[in-house]
């Protein structure tokens, strides 16, 4: 099984880089581009489910909104897809 970094390297090549969200590898969907800048895309609900392994749904939702979804870490900040 490929690591998330191996998948990213296949999608964007080794000459570019993106920021990945720690602990959410299984929620990784792929890579998108905006203004020629690549960024990681994750399934938002899967991220919440991962957090629910250690907390309630309400706690996971609050934690995710504030600490993950609400965190800007530069132009390569990951995006979280709502389906």
pLDDT score for 29: 95
Tokens found for residue 15: 């000459």
| Separation in Å, CA 9 to CA 14, 16, 19, 21, 62 | 5, 8, 12, 16, 32
Using one digit for the tens of pLDDT, what is the confidence trace for 17-48? 899 999 999 999 999 999 888 999 999 999 99
pLDDT score for 53: 97
Answer for the pair 56, 63: CB distance below 8 angstroms, yes or no.
no
pLDDT score for 71: 87
pLDDT score for 43: 98
Answer for the pair 12, 38: CB distance below 8 angstroms, yes or no.
yes
pTM of the entire structure? 0.90
Q: Can you give the residue ranges of every domain in the chain?
A: 4-81
pLDDT band at 6 (very low <50, low <70, confident <90, very high): confident
As a whole number, the mean pLDDT across the chain is 92
The span from the CA of 14 to the CA of 4, in Å, is 13
């Amino acid at each position: 099984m490929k690591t998330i970094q191996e998948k990213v390297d296949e999608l964007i090549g080794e000459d570019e880089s993106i920021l990945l969200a720690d602990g959410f590898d299984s929620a990784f969907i792929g890579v998108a581009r905006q203004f020629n800048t690549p960024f990681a895309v994750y399934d938002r609900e899967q991220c919440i489910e991962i957090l629910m392994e250690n907390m309630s749904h309400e706690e996971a939702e609050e934690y995710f909104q504030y600490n993950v979804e609400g965190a800007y870490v530069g132009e390569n900040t990951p995006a979280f897809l709502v389906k």
